[in-house]
A and B are shown apart, each in its own frame.
Chain A
Amino acid sequence: MALKMSDYRSTYFADWCPGCGDFGILSAIQMAFADLQLPPHRTVVFSGIGCSGKTPHCLKVNGIHTLHGRTLPFAIGAKLANPDLEVIAAGGDGDGLGIGAGHFVNTGRRNIDITYLIHDNGVYGLTKGQASPTLELGLKTKALPKPNLNSAINPVAIALASGYTFIARSYSYDVRHLKEMIKKGIQHHGLALIIIQQPCPTYNDINTKEWYGGEDRIDPKTGKPTPRLYSLEETGYDGVVHNQEEVFQKYIAALTKAQEWGDRIPMGVFYQNELVPTYAERISKRIPTYLENPPAKQPISDPSGKPITSIEKMLEELKVTG
């Protein structure tokens, strides 16, 4: 029997503020899971600390709510041990780009086949509104005592430079677009990153729903707002690398697009390159039975508890008498 979107929602009460972008992200995740019919036992959502950290509790799949900034190492550990798992990591901008920045960068080196969602709202919500690494220099969101002294980092550019092989941006209130991006990310053969722009109705009074929607920019001809977010696909942009020769050109194109912010913010796939071997493929070159008999599926003893791992070869090398 096919699983519906509602079959992925647990009874856990989501205690996000009214109007929080996390509700949209949760719905998009449920929809993507239902579209892909992911079996709940084989699916694991890892999260970090912060408002987004509560996402796994709301879902009826395995949910591992980890430490601040450490979502990726936990997720990688599980995927390495059992490559059959469908692993999704979800965390905030502070979680992934501040305290967890080292993991964010180094995960890119591995092209491990997991999907990472960054909930990006420019603030640390749960600790009451401090500036996150994606908040621009000089902005003073509601709870800041003084304007932000730090510049914002560019997650798309960092992801490119670090080796992520699928990089997309979406928006928490465009649930359909977000669902499509999450699906593409999960289906991507390799490491996928989806940066989700998300208003924080309580603490970010600058990058609001109205701001993203361009309600301060009424088109004099139509009298309608001019949204800041636009679709890359609709402009004819194609971030997919089709062959090795295209890699540099697509990389530069994505890096260029990554600079756009403010009045025009691109959504969609910046870059996708499935020609890079995944971590599992790299391991398999050294350990041919890795995918067939990964760590999680290996027996380690007989039923009586007798170990079955032979260390005879190593002992032979160390042997000096007898």
Chain B
Amino acid sequence: MIRDELVWMAGGPQGSGVDSAANIFGRACCYGGLHVYGKREYHSNIKGLHSYFHIRVSPKEVRADVDRVDLLCTFDAESVVRHIWEVAQGGGVICDTEALATRIFEIPTLTPAFWTEFRKTLEQRGIKPETVGDLLNEVKKNNVRTYAIPFTDLLKEIAKEIGEEKLSKLTRMINVLALGASFGLVDYDKAHVEKAIRMIFGDKPKIISMNLLALTKAYDYAKQRFGDFGFKLEAVQTDEKRIFLQGTQAAALGKLVGGCRLQTYYPITPAADESEYLEENEVLQLEQSEVKGAGGSIIIMQTEDEIAAINMASGAALTGVRAATATSGPGFSLMVEGLGWAGNSEVPIVVTYYQRGAPSTGLPTRHGQSDLRFAMHASHGEFPRIILSSGDIEECFYDAARAFNYAERYQTPVIHLIDKALANSNKSYRMFDPSLVKVERGQLLTEQDVKGKEYKRFEFTESGISPRVPLGTPGVFFWNTGDEHDEVGNINEEPVNRTLMLEKRMRKLDLAHKEIPVEERVNFFGDPDAPATVVSWGSPKGAVIEAMERLSQEGFKLNFIQVRMPIPLPKEYLAEKLGKAQKKIMVEGNYMAQLAGVIREETGILMDYFVLKWNGRPMSADEVYEALKLIIQEKAPKRQVLTHGT
């Protein structure tokens, strides 16, 4: 075990409270001043299939998941069997006493593909366990200890104390028992856990008191019975104001601060969480309002499909409202025609695009980062678009807000790329600062501006930007069409007009490239003179930074360019930096090394090494560290494929 941090894992069937246990665990650690990073993995299933949560806790900031588990906290036998090999030496497994007798090969939710791999591992290790208890005995040799807790007995005690006759009503609390046992083992201050339980169960006093009782029972049982885990999770003092949240929440908050007032969506994993969170908070408080006493609001519309979603957002944006839609790959596929319409009619809309395992339905609940090329090229024809890519949950917040500025300044669609690893991971951050967000609406005309003047919606201008007026502005009306059009917006197929109008639209992209400062388009980390340069985008950011920190401690110097704006790509910057890099390493979560291809297209520079992953799981800091180390030591092949994850 790394002595100053703990990796805790909760595993159980979906519907058994894995999420809420992990939320309580994470928050409880945060309350004690610790930094937390939590990764959620689940099946496309409502109830019964396996899901788990990794929570990494440390006094220092944690930015990514790692490969090992220190304390595996299981709600069922399957979780033991699935994750047993991940438990590090010196670690422990919490399980139900009753699970020990479960026959491994009779667990119905484990698949043939799993058995094949599992049998291979047993053969390699030369062991033949029949039951979960046998398996746990085998790993004892690796100094992995078992902490069997009699969940049923503890529930019976609770039932007796609160006068509940039906034990089945209490089985939902197995997650809190397992959680309580975990905290008892690491001897963590129970007051923080109690606070987290109160927070998670909100306004249900009966449920809170039952869960507090369960917590105490299991906490005391584990602490008194087993004193040998050998790691104490210490709270630390902090004055920093922190929040604990997932990526979908950060993006939603960014949209609100950025002034989004209408969002459309069709249910899809993992994007829907964002819209639901917005809907929960649809009534807004405005710090000042022209309408006396009237508050603000955001309208969330669940549409019949993603085609309606994007086009409804365009209809709303025409009225001057900041409008957005949020989706994942299959949904974005349906939005493509609407995206082109918005590009052609110069309508500022924002599409928040949560990538997941693809193509087709792909891995609906798993991570993927293979839609960069699709986002860049979706739709027939040519029109300007801006693509933002967030690298962590904090960036999701600020990027979600500034996406609207780009959309309105350049009057064109903006696609904000996020991925499942950011959407469904939780992390503690210093408090976001809404005052860092600035609202820039571009050339948006009012009634006064247009009074008595002839208005042409698509007026030819040097910059390519034609001043925009919202539908409903007194004294003016205008036309739009998806056909090629003249300056007033009527259909026009004349070749001269066509040449000028398409060029006018495309000029906006040149302007964006010229105007948007490079600091908004890339992040640079590390020593500028380091002999190796890593390039990446999206969620691998955290793993790359942690890997770099570890390598630097070992004396290996690296630097890292995180691309945050694939369109317009800061190509001069990349050409300059990569031009002098000795080793150029691309790290991204897809097969084709999509960003590497884009960079080669724009700069002519070919990367030297590729670290890629597409198994549906995010990159861990450990595997990125190992891959980079091999490259620096000149032991690596040109292309390394990462495979960690369960």
| A interface list, Cβ under 8 A from B | 12, 39-44, 46, 49, 54, 56-57, 60-67, 70, 72-82, 84-85, 102-103, 105-106, 283, 286-287, 289-290, 292-293, 295-302, 305-315, 318-322
Contacts and interface: CB of A to CB of B under 8 A. Distances in A.
Given A57-B481, A321-B30, A301 B259 contact: yes
B303 A73 contact: yes
A127 B440 CA distance: 43
Contacts of B285: 309-310, 312-313
A77 B315 contact: yes
B479 A63 contact: yes
B606 interface: no
Contact of B242 (A46, A65, A75, A322): A322
Q: Which of A85, A306, A311 gathers most chain B CB within 10 Å? A: A311
17 contacts: A39-B474, A62-B471, A73-B307, A75-B315, A81-B299, A82-B471, A102-B308, A103-B304, A105-B304, A289-B295, A293-B296, A296-B261, A300-B322, A307-B257, A320-B242, A321-B30, A322-B239
Interface string B528-549: 0000000000000000000000
Given A63-B480, A78-B471, A311-B434, A287 B282 contact: yes
Given A54-B491, A63-B478, 11 more contacts: A66-B311, A67-B311, A77-B312, A78-B315, A80-B312, A290-B297, A296-B261, A299-B289, A314-B256, A315-B253, A319-B243
Given A78-B315, A298-B289, A315-B432, A57 B479 contact: yes
Interface of B: 27, 30-31, 33, 238-245, 249, 253, 256-259, 261-262, 264, 281-291, 294-299, 301, 303-305, 307-309, 311-323, 337-338, 341, 401, 428, 431-432, 434-435, 437-441, 470-483, 489-491
A308 B288 contact: yes
Contacts of A75: 315
B482 A308 contact: no
By secondary structure, the A interface counts as: mixed
B291 A293 contact: yes
Contact of B318 (A41, A49, A64): A64
A74 B314 contact: yes
A77 B253 contact: no
B338 A67 contact: yes
A264 B428 CA distance: 71
Contact of B316 (A80, A289, A302): A80
Given A310-B284, A311-B253, A318-B249, A81 B289 contact: no
A64 B319 contact: no
A82 B434 contact: no
Contacts of B489: 63
A314 B437 contact: no
A105 B303 CA distance: 12
A112 to B, nearest CB: 10
Nearest to A104: B304
A85 B245 CA distance: 39
A74 B401 contact: no
A67 B477 contact: no
Contacts of A67: 311, 337-338, 341, 482
Given A41-B476, A66-B311, A103-B304, A307 B259 contact: yes
B299 A297 contact: no
A297 B261 CA distance: 10
A7 to B, nearest CB: 12
Instruction: Identify the 10 closest CB pairs spanning chains A and B, nearest first.
Output: A77-B315, A300-B259, A322-B241, A301-B439, A320-B30, A295-B261, A77-B312, A106-B304, A293-B294, A65-B481
Contacts of B435: 306
Given A67-B482, A295-B297, A299-B288, A81 B323 contact: yes
A74 B345 CA distance: 13
B301 A80 contact: yes
B490 A77 contact: no
Nearest to A106: B304
B61 to A, nearest CB: 13
Given A41-B476, A302-B288, A311-B257, A295 B321 contact: yes
A105 B309 CA distance: 15
B243 A289 contact: no
